[in-house]
Structure 1
């Protein structure tokens, strides 16, 4: 049975939602058995406040980019529908959970349970305790192309993180195992079909006589004719 999870990322106006900072971008990717599918969610959000210059340096967005975008209350149902009740994966996940839950709290909506949280930063620190474990650092470690990452971008960061997550969890090997299992299943089906009882065709006397005449006419002193 396939296991669904969702990898997501947010961009914000700052670092503290309880001091007025808001979400300006959400992206999410569907994973099946920890491998990405083509199903994703992405939206830019009007934060209903200004964008500090320090935040713009991180993600590149200014107020003019967002002033005509929907507000969080207008996208919340679509977002919650996409993530369902599945596990939620993010890099430094407590940050993203904190912001999403602050937005949900403003709307008197049920918060995301922390039991759903999978933090890739924590996974990376456990695996590489003495190394830098930012998304950039992990991409470099695993030779993942960073050429498009000029600024933080939620959708691009999700795509990069999905590749990192595969490496951190051995997901690529699990994918190969699934493919191998499918090949084995196909091979067994073929083997079973190959073991069916053969059907023997017995030629008639007339067919045998015609065959002998054909061989005699085609070959000079045929050995086949002598033994048959």
Structure 2
């Protein structure tokens, strides 16, 4: 019997990984960042075929070019996807909201190239961000190094169920009326979310709602 070290990994994501032709990094990383798994997307879209995952192509290209260091592959995958599309966008929006100009010196090209070339043995974390904190020595106080992670957290679940509920329901209904969308599946997701099903996170519904809003705003049928 095996136990999961990461309790945030859902059974659905594990099943998705195990359904792939090979259980390796190229196939498993894209699943780790998916909001909607392939089976659910097929159910929502009435489709039996999905476009090939472009994140897989990015990671696979590294392997072909001989960039096989495990941690470096993960870093490149994060930089090409989640960091660009979420972290940098969020940092820019949050900083601009208070007229603060943010710089990202750790993304300096030469520094990134150097760190990606370092052997994995230097990166195994006995402490969070070990390579970074070790390089700074006594310049960084322990209270900063040991401080719990602070992220961008907002009460989205509460908003979707309260202040934004009517807006969300309008978009869910509108989305379900599209000829290529399975309204029954979408409505079931919304109902399960409202009834407190922990397997249906707010982000799953929000992606659908934002997509429908974008389609409507741009007059796309």
More helix by share: 2
Q: Indicate the structure with greater strand content.
A: 1
| TM-score, shorter chain, exceeding 0.5 | no
Structure number with bigger Rg: 1
Q: TM-score, normalised by structure 2?
A: 0.26
Taking structure 1 as the reference length, what is the TM-score of the superposition? 0.25
